[in-house]
Amino acid sequence: MSRVWNFSAGPAALPLPVLERAQRELLDWNGSSASVMEQSHRGKRFIAMAQQVEANLRELMSIPDDYVVLFEQGGATQHFAQIPMNLAREGDSADYILTGHWSEKAASEAAPYVRVNVAASSKADSYLHMPPRETWKLDPSASYVHIASNETIHGVEFHQIPDVGNVPLVADMSSDILSGPIDVRRFGLIYAGAQKNIGPSGLVLMIIRRDLLERPTRPMAKIFRYAEQAANDSMLNTPNTWGWYLAGLTFEWLRDNGGLTAMAECNRQKAELLYATIDGSGGFYHNPIDPPVRSRMNVPFTLQDSRLDAAFLQESEAAGLMALKGHKALGGMRASLYNAVPPEAVQALVDFMRDFARRHS
Amino acid sequence: MSRVWNFSAGPAALPLPVLERAQRELLDWNGSSASVMEQSHRGKRFIAMAQQVEANLRELMSIPDDYVVLFEQGGATQHFAQIPMNLAREGDSADYILTGHWSEKAASEAAPYVRVNVAASSKADSYLHMPPRETWKLDPSASYVHIASNETIHGVEFHQIPDVGNVPLVADMSSDILSGPIDVRRFGLIYAGAQKNIGPSGLVLMIIRRDLLERPTRPMAKIFRYAEQAANDSMLNTPNTWGWYLAGLTFEWLRDNGGLTAMAECNRQKAELLYATIDGSGGFYHNPIDPPVRSRMNVPFTLQDSRLDAAFLQESEAAGLMALKGHKALGGMRASLYNAVPPEAVQALVDFMRDFARRHS
């Protein structure tokens, strides 16, 4: 069996030991003589696993007891809508900080449910910088402040958690959750699609300060209410059991590899190596993002001569470097360096990039 | 590796050849040298697979061209709400036929979005019969008529598609889809959680007559609009890629085993064998459902002496018969006989049941 180095933005690379274990256990999980996919989510075995997965995540992220953890469906996009449905009443407003494609999308999907106040935006600047905190026009009566902690397409990341006072901070962390330690207490709600740093697509992890579940809301089906999901341990209906299981394997892999502190250091080194290669290429490669807010997870870059794009993609694929094509909104290339992308992969990428530049300069 | 006979109501048994293929391909799918879970859903390989899966389903079910097929998330429960959000305007009404737990739940989750008219119900009768078609109080101006074609908990099933005139018939087929041929043209919308007859949980299959997508609706996020999902081939955001893939393997398995006609005959024989065993037990076992509407998929039964329940469960598990415990709403036992449960499994079950009855009579 051959494996490639996978730089996909998502669904993304999964840790090889996680995949190997899932493969071994696929037909006979946990002594049940059946697959984990064939287990009732109400059965003892599955419930015990689900509780352990949550306990392991709580330990990894030091999640305080007054936060609930949910394992939901629908992708982060569905929760762009469900968050205002749950945290705001009709007519309330919420502050959105626009720093790229995904925070923009979060605001537009929220608009049917809350008055969206764009408190800051770097759109006019093509999202190359972060709007400085002192320019944000926050409303102290907002239901919440929404940020995307890392922009998967535009490649900008909050390296410090912004202070937004007493209004709950809501963060879409789809593409940088678990990439390093964070102080959960600084947030009202954290959510993340699983398909970058957690597991397969079809699962959304949510961490919600418990008092926010008690907010008065609006008439809606039970299935959309986070309070109902919390009261039912994310099993108001059948959850994505395979995703939950895979997330659990990833959490164990993280724990066994030094936890989030070790992961942060590894991610810092990987990103530094790639940015140094881009910046040191004499202009052959280019990343336009303001250096202090460059993402450690998603590195978009262009070739000075875009006529070489096709050759770059073809040759990199032939060299076992998968999914380097940039998002269609920006063109060029993008390398995503999530937890499951090992340092060797980044070394192989920069070796290829230097060689490619030499051959085509 | 040992495997058990799995009678779980869902997540349920998957066909062994499907699991074996998923296991073989888990680390290296389709020549990509990466897992199917690690593929971008926008990549050529995944798109090609997704289209083939839909084509295979269309052939299996003879789905006419004026129906769209969607691969959604959230479980059938989320669509209890999303269906009225999409098919009715505020203030419109819809007719619900209550024949068990799930159609009742569908009506209650719909209530925030449509005026629910209970056009017929067998609740007063503990759902042991079907309300006869001639007693249904249908409203010709209803947005749609909703049924659950098979009740997973109560064990009643529509064996004929009811005629509801020109109002679109909407059917939750979660627990009997693909169990035999149906005439899709008789329906406006068919939906089914995957975790019984399709694949793992976290995927919902929908088949919608295209004209219904053009109905005027109400303000809501794009992610909830079926028309948007249809326009984006179910990829408005990242779909459950693993579920989609597994569903595809199941559809191929169905095709290679004679398609839905062969499946229907096999399911008929399995159900007949189990019901004959129950009815022929001299009262030791009992299924209370009106015989003409007994479900072929979910067979609830009780032991005359409920003090033997614990021994029945313990001994059956020891005999390699998994997940026979009944739903807590009804107690007793339940055997689910989905497509992936082979005749040998049902034979093993009835052999055990006869032996158990002999030993405990």
Taking only the tens place, the pLDDT of each residue in A205-244 is 999 999 999 999 999 999 999 999 999 999 999 999 999 9
Q: Which whole-number Å values give the CA distances from A297 to A80, A177, A330, B185, in the listed order?
A: 21, 10, 17, 48
Residues B81 and B100 in one domain: yes
Please tell me what DSSP assigns to residue A127: T
Classify residue A333: in a domain, yes or no: yes
Are the beta carbons of A240 and A71 closer than 8 angstroms?
yes
A14 and B28: CB-CB below 8 Å? no
| B residues 17-56 lying closer than 8 A (beta carbon) to A | 19-20, 22-23, 26-28, 32-35, 37-41, 43
Classify residue B7: in a domain, yes or no: no
Residues B138 and B210 in one domain: yes
Q: Which H helix or E strand runs over A286?
A: strand A285-286
By the CB < 8 Å criterion, does B6 face chain A?
A: yes
Give the helix, strand, coil percentages of chain A, each rounded to 5.
Answer: 40, 15, 45
- Is pLDDT larger for residue A198 or for residue A2? A198
The last residue of one of the domains, among A256, A283, A311, is: A256
Distance (Å, rounded) from C-alpha B146 to C-alpha B79? 12
Contacts of A46 (CB under 8 A, 6+ apart): A36, A39, A40, A241
Distance from CA of B167 to the nearest CA of A (A): 24
pLDDT tens per residue, range A239-253 = 999 999 999 999 999
State the CATH number of the domain containing residue B334. Answer: 3.90.1150.10
Q: Which whole-number Å values give the CA distances from B28 to A20, A210, B25, B38, in the listed order?
A: 11, 42, 5, 10
Classify residue A1: in a domain, yes or no: no
Classify residue A157: in a domain, yes or no: yes
| B residues 137-156 lying closer than 8 A (beta carbon) to A | none
Classify residue A320: in a domain, yes or no: yes
Distance from CA of A94 to the nearest CA of B (A): 16
Strands A145-148, A93-98: pairing is parallel
Average model confidence (pLDDT) for chain A? Answer: 97
Distance from CA of A282 to the nearest CA of B (A): 31
By the CB < 8 Å criterion, does A136 face chain B?
A: no
Mean pLDDT per 10-residue segment, chain B (361 residues): 88 97 97 96 96 98 98 98 97 98 98 98 97 97 98 97 97 98 98 97 98 95 98 98 98 98 98 98 97 98 98 97 94 97 98 98 89
Distance (Å, rounded) from C-alpha B265 to C-alpha B284? 28
Residues B118 and B69 in one domain: yes
Beta strand segments in chain B, E: 5-6, 67-72, 93-98, 115-121, 145-148, 169-172, 189-193, 204-209, 285-286, 298-303, 321-322, 333-336
- Please write down the long-range contacts of A207-211, taking CB distance under 8 Å and 24 or more positions apart: A207/A61, A207/A63, A207/A67, A207/A68, A207/A69, A207/A70, A208/A67, A208/A68, A208/A70, A209/A66, A209/A67, A209/A168, A210/A66, A210/A67, A210/A68, A211/A66
The residue with tokens 């942060």 is A264
> If you write DSSP's letter for every residue of B45-96 in order, what string do you get?
HHHHHHHHHHHHHHHHHT--TTEEEEEE-SHHHHHHHHHHHHH--TT-EEEE
Classify residue A8: in a domain, yes or no: no
Q: Which two tokens stand for residue A192?
A: 């993340």
Type of residue found at B313: L
State the average pLDDT over residues A177-201.
98
Classify residue B3: in a domain, yes or no: no
Assess whether pLDDT exceeds 90 at residue A91. Answer: yes
Q: Which H helix or E strand runs over A70?
A: strand A67-72
Are the beta carbons of B184 and A185 closer than 8 angstroms?
no
Assess whether pLDDT exceeds 80 at residue A348. Answer: yes
Task: Quote the pLDDT of residue B2.
Answer: 74
Residues A122 and A32 in one domain: yes
Classify residue A239: in a domain, yes or no: yes
Residues A165 and A287 in one domain: no
Q: Tally helices (H) and strands (E) across chain B.
A: 9, 12
Q: Which two tokens stand for residue A201?
A: 């697509």
Residues A230 and A143 in one domain: yes
Q: Which H helix or E strand runs over B110?
A: helix B101-110
Whole-number CA gyration radius for chain A: 21
Distance (Å, rounded) from C-alpha A213 to C-alpha B48? 42
| Measured distance between the N- and C-terminal CA atoms of chain A, rounded to whole angstroms | 35
A240 and B35: CB-CB below 8 Å? no
Q: Which two tokens stand for residue B214?
A: 């053009």
State the CATH number of the domain containing residue B71. Answer: 3.40.640.10
Domain that holds residue A273: 258-360
Assess whether pLDDT exceeds 60 at residue A52. Answer: yes
State the average pLDDT over residues A118-144.
97
Domain total in chain B = 2
Q: Which two tokens stand for residue B12?
A: 């349920």
A201 and B9: CB-CB below 8 Å? no
Q: Which whole-number Å values give the CA distances from B54 to A322, B43, B62, B198, B252, in the listed order?
A: 26, 17, 11, 13, 11
| Measured distance between the N- and C-terminal CA atoms of chain B, rounded to whole angstroms | 35
Residues A279 and A216 in one domain: no
Task: Quote the pLDDT of residue B1.
Answer: 53
Q: For residue B237, give the nearest of A9, A13, A75 by CB distance.
A: A75
Residues A225 and A348 in one domain: no
Task: Quote the pLDDT of residue A1.
Answer: 52
The last residue of one of the domains, among A207, A224, A256, is: A256
Residues B34 and B117 in one domain: yes
The last residue of one of the domains, among B256, B286, B304, is: B256
Distance (Å, rounded) from C-alpha B330 to C-alpha B320? 24
State the average pLDDT over residues A346-358.
98
Q: For residue A40, give the nearest of B11, B16, B38 by CB distance.
A: B11
Task: Quote the pLDDT of residue A108.
Answer: 98
Are the beta carbons of A51 and A188 closer than 8 angstroms?
no
Residues B66 and B149 in one domain: yes
Q: Which residues of B touch A43 (CB under 8 A)?
A: 8, 323
Residues B88 and B105 in one domain: yes
Residues A101 and A179 in one domain: yes
Cis amide prior to A11 (ω within 30 degrees):
yes
Q: What value of ipTM does the predicted structure carry? A: 0.97
